[in-house]
Chain A
Amino acid sequence: MANTIKIRAKEKGGETTVKALISHPMETGGRTDKKTGKKIPAHFIQEVVCKHKGATVMTAEWSGGVSKNPYISFKFSGGAKGDDIELSWTDNKGEGDSKTGKIK
């Protein structure tokens, strides 16, 4: 899976706000396909890790209860304009993606 992440980070007054959107179906495994009557297998992101200068600022563990094409936002201090910020995810099938953005 490539290019599934959109990341924005903005520094203001010493605090950096990170916002990210990930393209992912986030299937819980509890839904049934109306046409075939079969269960749609679970396929959701289990872990999202965000790093700034090699240090993990946020680790999110998710269940299938997070909406399709998930949005995540959080804040941290210590970031500066121009710094790299890296976000990566891994799902229950072992697939994943990562993207590096710059703090503005």
Chain B
Amino acid sequence: MSTEMKRRIFLKRSLAAGAVGVAAGAGLLTPQEILAAWNKAAFEAKELPSALNELLGVSDHEASADINVKAPDIAENGAVVPVTISTSIAGAESITLIASNNPVPLVANFKLGQGASGFASTRIKMGKTGDVVAVVKAGGKLYSAKKEVKVTIGGCGG
């Protein structure tokens, strides 16, 4: 590729990026469009590997002892299951929370920003007994840990 061509491509790209920035800044884009960051395909995936692939770009994950999943052994009410994940893996970029037997297995993805510790806590719904899986992304690789939670009353049905 000649230098001339590269220069053209570069110009094109920077112009395109500039235009999007201006549009967002001027409030031309609705919140829905800005939300394009919300990964629809990943959150609609019915299988865990495809959800991970859509969300994080990789689906292979290895079990790690450096991730701690804190959840009750038995959840009496599947509609509210408190889950806390903490990890000591250096350079953790994100913590993904999965309830493997839910109709939509991918529950939440916490992207750790500047200075954030490897810690996230929330309350999730669980349709039935199953594993709560935490996947931590660090350095392009995925590490995981899981804990089985027995659910006596499901939280996903009507």
Contacts and interface: CB of A to CB of B under 8 A. Distances in A.
Contacts of B99: 65
Contacts of A33: 158
Contacts of B107: 62-63, 65-66
Range of interface residues on chain A?
A: 35 or more
Contacts of A28: 103-104, 125, 156
Contacts of B117: 15, 74-77
Interface string A44-75: 00110010100111111111111110111111
B38 A47 contact: yes
Interface of A: 15, 28, 30-34, 40, 46-47, 50, 52, 55-68, 70-79, 90, 94, 96
A89 B102 CA distance: 24
B114 interface: yes
Contact of A71 (B104, B121, B155): B121
B114 A63 contact: no
A72 B115 contact: no
Interface in B110-144: 110-117, 119-125
Given A34-B158, A72-B121, A67 B79 contact: yes
Given A59-B113, A67-B125, 6 more contacts: A52-B115, A71-B123, A74-B116, A75-B119, A77-B117, A94-B32
A66 B116 contact: no
Contacts of B37: 47, 61
A31 B78 CA distance: 14
Contact of A74 (B102, B106, B119, B158): B119
B157 interface: yes
B67 interface: no
6 contacts: A57-B114, A58-B110, A58-B112, A65-B99, A75-B119, A76-B114
Nearest to A17: B119
Contacts of A59: 110-111, 113
A65 B111 contact: no
